[in-house]
């Protein structure tokens, strides 16, 4: 091929320049990364056993440094105070009855995703593979049921849409139910839309009843549903809401509702299960995307990403009474779960 | 110049020859570009969740819309290449657009901006595919077109395999090095665009076809002697103008019907992987790696299957490749799964892609006229892509309606019935192409003395490396 010498040299110049600039950038990033101070500079650390001796909050630490992404705990009465790290990496955390569910993605030549169950001493008791990125998890109050939701990327699939897979594990029997196999009952009639999707389970204290999100894009609805593991059914409770979280007293659901479509804003709302009354919590004006955790019967906890610091998030608290304002609860944290202590 | 032209003719003999350097160069461009796009694709989900906060619904919705847009842009890319008769520069725009998005990723910090950047990248991919495949057709010996596409697809898939390795190697050294991955990806994209812009000749397929048809100076409206005059209009013929109706030619219609019809009876790889996963712990553990297995088989088999297609008939291999798909579905539906059935299924999927992906472009390329080749290839790829989207949705209904195993068996059965029908529909097409080819050869023989024509097949370089 009679490619001119000039073109070859031009290509060589592009390659050399490209490689040199990229290498320079990579080296500077490497130096920056290895020079980053450990989290302890910014965040005070405490002894693990001391914190877990009393009421505490488990969370994912997002403080930059080599403990980024680790499961950590703080005392419930001093949430912004010293934290203790477990050394266990978790993207999402749920805990109840002394059992912890930790969902994580592990990088490597191919990313893999798993749910790891831990006992009160942080020892692994079970590991379940997930079919996609971790999305939500919850443990039942009795500790026998664990729900996980993963985002399943339909590789080369119809329209490449992302779907969810939600599994409820019964740790006593070893059963693992995919919610898609349950009967979905909408307004008293059984339906089975092809594109039904379920996510964000929250358990009641009878070790059978739970609430979750059900969605069918083709039917144009996103519902809060009440499920039963023994009956294998899901029954709609409310049309237009997602990511429910049951209050400790079992009477209310905190959930997400779209309050504006342009700009796209999701807010939290609370549904009274007995009266059916629901009300948006307008104290928080940011666009939220989280399944909340209840601190007590009057306060919810949720994460918000920092806009100026990629990867860093904060956990905020918000009262469910009208007019309540959000307050920073745990800085540099995500996925909070309240535990009473032994 | 006459030596170059003689070199261009030489491959018509049946001796073993090398693949055109243009095809190899285009393969290298695809390799570099795929390293670029797949390195980002491998870390993007983690980046979005770890740093940006993900909204499930928005992600799925935008992704769906963009898939559709990418399919339509593909026809437009082919059409623009045919219309202007400069496929290289249309492809350049497509590759360039994707390269720019890599740079933009370094600056994008919000979820929405990352999604828009990904969307523009898809549009770039849609634009470049058909012109590139038209260039591969134009610069290849028609007798070994299947092999040429095999070589290109092997390099392309190799890039797709290297990309994630580079990305994870970077993250291994720099744990939060997402921006370094983007920078590396940007560099590969720029080098790929530079290779295309600097090394690939500005092929003029339409013009070349006109010169091919009008071989004598007289037919070209040139003065009878060389050097008598320059710059008269006949010297730069525009070739036969592009026309949509060439797409409706009977033989093209038969290919589109056969390929589209068969695509309507496919399941979507996602469902095959889910089916494997539903039954087999091995597949669940390696779920994110299943497509890598398919790609590996595809990469190793693309050239052999291209050769087989050249020998046995490309349309025939395109249709018979679906037999591998039937076998893959049966294997995925087997009730008692094991690691081996998973591996066999992935290899069968790889065989299917090797026998159909590049071969579809080769079939359409060989049957279309140079004036509408880009549009024809783009249309065929879009027809198949849209048919697969429809069939994947329909299969979803079947899956939930009658269950996983029966649904797979039903589709496998229908596909097994459809293959002989499609085979009958494309019967004779391969012979027809060979017959056309032989006409050309006779033509060559008639005019072998006329190698000093003023317009070679390409504007300023010969397409064949010796």
Please say whether the dihedral angle defined by the alpha carbons of residues B89, B94, B99 and B103, taken in this order, is positive or negative. Answer: positive
pLDDT of residue B256: 92
Quick one: B272 and B374 in the same domain?
yes
Chain B, nearest residue to A2 by Cα: B461
What are residue B162's phi and psi, to 5 degrees?
Answer: -70, -40
Quick one: B66 and B187 in the same domain?
yes
Question: Which CATH number goes with the domain that contains B58?
Answer: 1.20.1250.20
Interface subset of A 295-324, CB within 8 angstroms of B: 305, 310-311, 313
Quick one: A11 and A69 in the same domain?
no
Interface subset of A 197-226, CB within 8 angstroms of B: 199, 215
Quick one: B195 and B255 in the same domain?
no
Contacts of A121 (CB under 8 A, 6+ apart): none
- B115: which 2 tokens? 């999604």
pLDDT of residue A320: 94
Residue A45 DSSP label: B
Residue B13 located in a structural domain: no
Residue B282 located in a structural domain: yes
Which residue ranges of chain A lie beneath pLDDT 70?
Answer: 1-3, 36-44, 107-111, 153-162
Distance in angstroms (rounded) separating the CA atoms of residues B316 and B261: 15
Residues in chain B with CB shorter than 8 Å from the CB of A157 are 268-271, 392
Question: Which CATH number goes with the domain that contains A277?
Answer: 2.120.10.30
Residue A204 DSSP label: -
Question: CB neighbours (10 Å) of residue B323?
Answer: 16
Quick one: B256 and B187 in the same domain?
no
User: What is the residue range of B383's domain?
Assistant: 247-435
Is A9 within 8 Å of chain B by CB? no
Q: Is the ipTM of this complex over 0.90?
A: no
Quick one: A113 and A24 in the same domain?
no
pLDDT of residue B198: 93
User: What is the residue range of A139's domain?
Assistant: 44-339
Quick one: B86 and B196 in the same domain?
yes
Distance in angstroms (rounded) separating the CA atoms of residues A106 and A182: 30
Cβ atoms of A119 and A184 within 8 Å: the answer is no
Mutation for A interface: B56, B88, B191, most A CBs within 10 A:
B56
Q: In what order do the strands lie in the sheet with A327-330?
A: A293-296, A299-305, A313-319, A327-330
Alpha carbons within 13 angstroms on the beta-carbon side of residue A190 total 5
Cβ atoms of B51 and A147 within 8 Å: the answer is no
Give residue B394's region: left, alpha or beta (phi > 0; psi -120 to 50).
alpha
Quick one: A97 and A78 in the same domain?
yes
Find tokens 């297609």 and name the residue.
B309
Q: In what order do the strands lie in the sheet with A333-339?
A: A83-89, A70-75, A56-61, A333-339
CB pairs under 8 A between A and B: 173
Helix axis angle for B145-173 and B339-367, nearest 10°, is 130
Question: CB neighbours (10 Å) of residue A277?
Answer: 10
Mutation for A interface: B51, B57, B268, most A CBs within 10 A:
B57
Q: How far is CA B190 from CA A4, A121, B25, B313, in A?
A: 20, 52, 15, 38
A163-189 CB burial, b ≥16 within 10 A, e <16: bbbbbbbbbeeeeebebbebebebeee
Chain A, nearest residue to B54 by Cα: A289
Element (H, E) at A186: strand A183-186
Contact B396 A195 (CB under 8 A): yes
- From first to last of its 466 residues, chain B has per-residue pLDDT tens of 344 444 444 444 444 678 889 999 999 999 999 999 988 887 776 676 655 554 444 444 455 556 667 778 899 999 999 888 899 999 999 999 999 998 898 887 666 777 778 788 888 999 999 999 999 999 999 889 999 999 999 999 999 989 888 988 888 888 778 889 999 999 999 999 999 999 998 888 877 777 777 766 666 665 555 554 444 444 444 455 566 666 667 888 899 999 999 999 988 787 788 788 776 667 666 766 788 889 999 999 999 999 999 999 999 999 999 999 999 999 988 867 678 888 999 999 999 999 999 999 999 998 888 888 899 999 999 999 888 888 877 887 787 778 778 889 999 999 999 999 999 999 888 776 544 444 444 343 333 333 333 333 333 333 333 3
DSSP-H helix ranges across B85-234: 87-107, 111-138, 145-173, 178-199, 205-213
Is A335 within 8 Å of chain B by CB? no
Spell out where A44-98 has E strands: 56-61, 70-75, 83-89, 92-96
Of B311, B354, B365, which is closest to residue B139 (Cα–Cα)? B365
Contact B183 A313 (CB under 8 A): no
Q: Which of B45, B46, B389 sits opposite A159 (nearest CB)?
A: B389
Distance in angstroms (rounded) separating the CA atoms of residues B32 and B39: 11
Is A27 within 8 Å of chain B by CB? no
Residues in chain B with CB shorter than 8 Å from the CB of A289 are 53-55
Of B119, B138, B127, B137, which is closest to residue B89 (Cα–Cα)? B127
pLDDT of residue A185: 94
Q: Which of A18, A131, A163 sits opposite B190 (nearest CB)?
A: A18
- How many structural domains comprise chain A? 2
Cβ atoms of B158 and B402 within 8 Å: the answer is no
Chain B, nearest residue to A304 by Cα: B53
- How many structural domains comprise chain B? 2
Quick one: B151 and B254 in the same domain?
no
Q: Which of A3, A29, A153 sits opposite B180 (nearest CB)?
A: A29
């Amino acid at each position: 091929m009679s490619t001119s010498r000039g073109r070859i040299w031009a290509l060589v110049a592009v390659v050399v320049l490209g490689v040199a600039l990229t290498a320079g950038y990579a080296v500077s990033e490497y130096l920056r990364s290895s020079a980053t101070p450990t989290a302890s500079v910014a965040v005070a650390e405490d002894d693990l056993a001391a914190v877990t001796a009393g009421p505490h909050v488990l969370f994912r630490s997002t403080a930059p440094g080599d403990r980024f992404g680790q499961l950590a705990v703080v005392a419930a009465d001093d949430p912004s105070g010293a934290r203790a790290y477990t050394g266990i990496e978790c993207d999402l955390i749920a805990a109840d009855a002394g059992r912890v569910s930790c969902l994580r993605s592990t990088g490597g030549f191919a990313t893999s995703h798993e749910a790891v169950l831990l006992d009160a001493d942080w020892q692994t008791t079970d590991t379940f593979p997930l079919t996609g990125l971790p999305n939500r998890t919850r443990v039942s109050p009795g500790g026998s049921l664990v729900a996980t939701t993963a985002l399943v990327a339909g590789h080369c699939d119809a329209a490449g849409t992302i779907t969810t897979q939600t599994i409820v594990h019964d740790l006593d029997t070893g059963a693992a139910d995919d919610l898609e196999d349950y009967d979905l009952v909408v307004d008293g009639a059984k339906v089975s839309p092809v594109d039904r999707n379920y996510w964000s389970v929250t358990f009641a204290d009878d070790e059978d009843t739970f609430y979750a999100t059900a969605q069918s894009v083709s039917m144009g609805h996103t519902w809060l549903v009440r499920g039963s593991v023994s009956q294998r059914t899901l029954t709609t409770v409310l049309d237009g809401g997602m990511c429910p979280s049951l209050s400790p007293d079992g009477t209310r659901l905190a959930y997400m509702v779209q309050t504006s479509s342009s700009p796209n804003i999701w807010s939290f709302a609370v549904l009274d299960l007995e009266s059916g009354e629901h009300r948006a919590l307008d104290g928080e004006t940011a666009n939220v995307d989280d399944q909340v955790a209840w601190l007590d019967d009057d306060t919810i906890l949720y994460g918000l990403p920092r806009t100026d610091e990629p990867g860093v998030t904060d956990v905020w608290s918000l009262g469910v009474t009208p007019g309540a304002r959000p307050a920073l609860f745990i800085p540099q944290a995500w996925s909070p779960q309240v535990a009473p202590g032994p | 110049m006459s030596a170059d032209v003689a070199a261009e003719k030489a491959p018509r003999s049946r001796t073993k020859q090398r693949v055109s350097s243009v095809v190899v160069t285009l393969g290298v461009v695809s390799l570099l570009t795929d390293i670029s796009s797949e390195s980002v694709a491998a870390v993007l989900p983690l980046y979005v969740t770890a740093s940006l906060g993900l909204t499930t619904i928005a992600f799925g919705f935008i992704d769906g819309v963009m898939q559709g847009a990418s399919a339509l842009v593909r026809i437009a890319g082919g059409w623009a290449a045919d219309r202007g008769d400069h496929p290289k520069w249309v492809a350049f725009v497509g590759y360039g657009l994707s390269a720019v998005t890599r740079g933009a990723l370094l600056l994008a910090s919000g979820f929405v901006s990352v999604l828009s950047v990904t969307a523009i990248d898809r549009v770039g991919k849609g634009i470049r595919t058909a012109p590139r495949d038209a260039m591969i057709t134009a610069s290849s010996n028609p007798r070994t077109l299947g092999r040429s596409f095999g070589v290109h697809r092997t390099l392309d898939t190799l890039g797709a395999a290297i990309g994630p390795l580079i990305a994870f190697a970077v993250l291994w050294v720099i744990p939060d090095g997402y921006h370094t991955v983007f920078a590396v990806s940007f560099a590969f994209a720029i080098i790929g665009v530079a290779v295309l812009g600097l090394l690939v000749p500005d092929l003029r397929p339409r013009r070349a076809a006109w010169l091919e048809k009008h071989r004598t100076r007289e037919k070209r409206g040139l003065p009878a002697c060389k050097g008598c005059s320059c710059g008269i209009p006949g010297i730069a013929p525009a070739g036969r103008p592009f026309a949509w109706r060439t797409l409706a030619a009977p033989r093209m219609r038969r290919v589109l019907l056969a390929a589209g019809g068969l695509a309507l009876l496919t399941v979507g790889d996602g469902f095959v992987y889910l089916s494997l996963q539903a039954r087999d712990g091995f597949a669940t553990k390696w779920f994110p790696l299943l497509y890598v297995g398919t790609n590996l088989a595809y990469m190793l088999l693309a050239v052999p299957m291209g050769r087989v297609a050249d020998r046995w008939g490309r349309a025939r291999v395109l249709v018979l490749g679906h037999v591998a798909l039937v076998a893959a579905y049966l294997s995925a539906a087997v009730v008692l799964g094991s690691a081996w059935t998973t591996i066999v299924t992935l290899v069968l999927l790889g065989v299917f892609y090797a026998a159909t992906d590049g071969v579809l472009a080769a079939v359409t390329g060989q049957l279309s006229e140079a004036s509408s080749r880009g549009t024809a290839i783009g249309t065929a790829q879009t027809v198949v892509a849209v048919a697969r989207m429809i069939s994947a949705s329909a299969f979803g209904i079947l899956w939930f309606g009658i269950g996983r195993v029966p649904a797979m068996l039903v589709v496998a059965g229908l596909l097994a019935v459809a293959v002989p029908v499609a085979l009958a529909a494309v019967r004779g097409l391969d012979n027809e192409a060979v017959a056309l080819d032989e006409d050309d050869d006779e033509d060559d023989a008639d005019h072998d003395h006329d190698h000093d024509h003023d317009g070679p097949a390409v504007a300023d370089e010969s397409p064949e490396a010796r």
